[in-house]
Structure 1
Amino acid sequence: MNVRRSAALAAAAVALGAAASPAVAAPSPSPSAIPAKAEGLFGKQDPTYDGVWRQSLALTALATAKAEVPRPAVDWLVGQQCADGAYAAFRAKPGADCGAKDKVDSNSTAAAVQAFVAVGGHRAEAEKSLDWLKSTQNADGGWSYNPGGASDANSTSVVAGALAAMGEEPGSVTSEKGQSPFDALRALALKCGAKPAEGAAFAYQPDPKSKKLVANDDATAAAVTAALGHGFVVSGPGEDGEGGKYACHAPKDVGDAARNGAAHLASAVAKTGHLMSAMPGAKDQPDVGNTADTVVALTAAGLTGQARKPLAWLEENGARWAGQTGPAAWAQLVLTAEATGTDAHDFGGTDLVAKLAAEGPADASAAPTPSAEGEQKNADDGADGDGISPWWMVGVGAFVGIGIGFLVSGRNKKRSQL
C-alpha cells in the first residue's frame, strides 16, 4: 500500500507502461479547497484521485489501533458508494446513481470493503461492493484497476484482501473459466534465479511488448501479503514466527510463490533497510511507502528477523514522509506498526494515531465499531457488531483514471466481522 508521487507522475508511469504501485493512494497533485460535499473527508488535499482510498485507509487504521473513528468520516465513505456497490476514486456530487464520468475502480471499491469490515456496522454496503467486485473478475481470476483491463498484481491483491476480510476464501472465488485470484497472482510470479536465497519477485503485469515478467517490488509486497491471506490488516507474524530464511524453489501453490517473493523482499532491504523508487524521469530516492509494504509482507511471511532493519529505518524516516504526504501515509504507518507489534503511539517518537486523527473531520463523534464479543457474535450469526476490531496494507497506490492501486488488502488473522 503505497502513498506517494503526484497523480501526474502516476499517469505518466502508466502511459509509459511502467508497473504501478501497491499500497497507499498517490497524493493529490496540489492542495485545494475541498468541495462542501467532501465534508467528513480525511486530509485537505484535492481528493480527485485518492479520496475513497485515503478515507478507507484512515478508517481501517484508526479502527485497527482501537482509536475513535469519526462518524462523519464513515458517513462520507457510505455516501460515495454507487447504487451497484462500486466506488470511484472520488465523486464531488455523490448520490445513488453513478454516470459515465464516474470512473469506478476495483481498488477504491476493495479498500472501502476493508474499511467497513474494520469499523463495523455497514455489512450491507460491504456486501454490495463485494458483489460488484465479483462481477468484474477477469477470466484469469484477477482484476484490473478499471473494469475491462488486463489483470495486475496490485489490483488483484487488494480485491483478494477484501474477500478475505469479508470471511471468504479468495482461492474459492473463481471466474467463468474456473480461475481464482491466487491463480492470477501465481501467473505473475517470476522463476527463481541463480541465487535461491534472493527469492523470486512478482511482476505487476507482463511487459506489454515482450510479454515477459519484470520484477516489481511494489507488486511483490502486495502479492505476498494477499497470497498469505491478508490485506490492509496483518495481525502479527505468520507461520514461521522468528523463522530464518526461505530458499527459492519452484512453487507448488501460491503460498510457495509468496514465500519466494518474501525472500526477494528480504534480500532487497538487507543492505540499506529500505527500497528505492524508480519512477520514469525521477531521481531514485528511498521509497518509504513501499518499504512499509515490505515490512508488512515480511511480517505476514514470518520473516520478522528480516523485517527489523527496515522497520527501524521507518521509525527514523517515516514521520517526515507522512507529514508531507497526508492521511493515507499516516494510516499506512499505523497499520505497519500494528502488524509488527510496534507501539503506534510511539513510533520513533511520533504518535502516529494522533497524527492521523488530526487529519480527520473536526466533528469527532465516534462511529460504532465491532467489539471482540461482537466479532464472535457476528461470526456465529452474521449480525452487525457494535464495538472495535484490529489489523493492516500496503497499500495500494491509486492512480489517475486507469491508474493502479495497491494494495494489498487483507484480513485480520482473527478475522474482524461486520
Structure 2
Amino acid sequence: MAVWALGLNHTTAPLDLRGRFAFALDQLAPTLHSLRSSFGAQRHPDVEAAIISTCNRTEIYCAANNAALEHTVGWLAESGGVSPSLLRSHAYTLENDQAARHAFRVASGLDSMVLGEAQILGQMKDAVRAAESAGSLGSTLNQLFQRSFAVAKEVRTATEIGAHSISMAAASVRLASQLFEDLKQTRVLFVGAGEMIDLAATHFAARSPKAMVIANRTLERGEKLASRFGGEAMRLADLPARLAEFDIVVSCTASTLPLIGLGAVERALKQRKHRPMFMVDLAVPRDIEPEVRALSDVYLYTVDDLAQVVQQGQAQRQAAVAQAEVIIDAGVQSFMHWLGQRGTVPLIQQLNAQTDAWRSAELARAKKLLAKGEDLDTVLEALSRGLTQKMLHGAMAELHAGDAASREQTAQTIARLFLRKER
C-alpha cells in the first residue's frame, strides 16, 4: 500500500494561486468524487482520498496499491485552470513516510503560518469527516489521520508549542490598534459568520468597540453570532450601502468572487470624507478586490500580509519544536510499521482460508469414520496425521525442488518457521 500527498501552502504559493484551489467544506464531497473517478477503476482501483483546504493550504492525501502522483498533479492543475508545470513549481509532493510526517506536522501546528496554532487540527478533523461522508476515506487514510490527531495531542500536551502564539485574529487587532488610537471609538464590520470571523470577533470584542456588526448571506446565522457579542446583524446585500459606517472591516467567507469591490470602497471613502479604513481580508480566494490596496485612505491586509506579525515570538518556541519533532518521528515510525504490515494482510487471509479448508475436510472425514463405528482413538490419530501432512506438504515439496542454493535457503526458512522452539 502506498500513501502520497500533494499540496501547496502559504510558503510555496502566492495568495491568488492558492485561491484557485480553495474548496469550501460543502464542496469537498463532489470534489472527492471527481478526483477518485478520474483515476479509473482499471489502473488504480479503490483509491482512498481526502482534501484539506484552508486559507493557508490545500492538500490532497491519497492511498492505493500504487502511488499516482503525476495523475494527482494533473487532476488538481485542471481543476484550478492552470498548467501542471505551473502547479508543480508551487507545490510539494510527498510519499509514504514523508507524507505521514507532513500530516503529523500539519496537525501539530508545526507547518502553520502561526506556529503551534490549534485551529488547523479542527480543520483537519472537518476534512476527515467530509471524506468519510463521501465514502473516500478508507482504512489506510483513516489510520493516518487518527494517528496524526494522537500525535498532535501529545505534542500539545508534552511541549509548549502553542505558548505565546499570535493568531490571525489577534494580529488583526494588533494592527488595527496601531492605526486607531482608541479601538473603543471604532465601528467594526465582520463579513461572514464562520470560525475565523468568530475568532476575530472574539478578539475585537475584548477591546469594546463602539459597534460590532455581522454581515452574512444568511441573516439568521449572522444574528446568532452577533448576539454573543451584543452586536447587530445585517444582510450581505446591504453591505455596499452601509460600508461607509465602518472604520474596520474584517472579511472571511467562502465566496469564489470578491464581495467588496474597488467602486464600493471608493464611494464609502467619499462618504467618510476620506477618514481611514482598516480592512483585513482573511479569505482565500479574496473577498476584497486587491485594487483596493492602492487607495490612499485604506489599509488592506491579506492573510499573507499578516505573516510577519504572527511570526513574532518564534524564537521562544524553537525548543518546543525540537521536542515536537521527536514525538513526530516516533509517530511516523509507528505508522510505517503498521503500513508495512498491511502488505501481508492478503497472504494472511489466504493462509487462514486454506487452513480452514483443510480443517473442514479432515473434520468431515473424521465424522464419517465415527459414524461407521471406527474407534475414537484411531479417528483422532487419523485426523491429526491428515492435518499435519497437509500443512507440511508444501514445505516438503520445496525442500526437494530447485538447486542446492535454493534448497539451503528453503531449509533455513522452514527451520525458522517450524522449529523455533528447538532453536
More strand by percentage: 2
Report 1 or 2 for greater relative contact order, CA contacts < 8 Å, sequence distance ≥ 6.
Answer: 1
Structure that is richer in helix per residue = 2
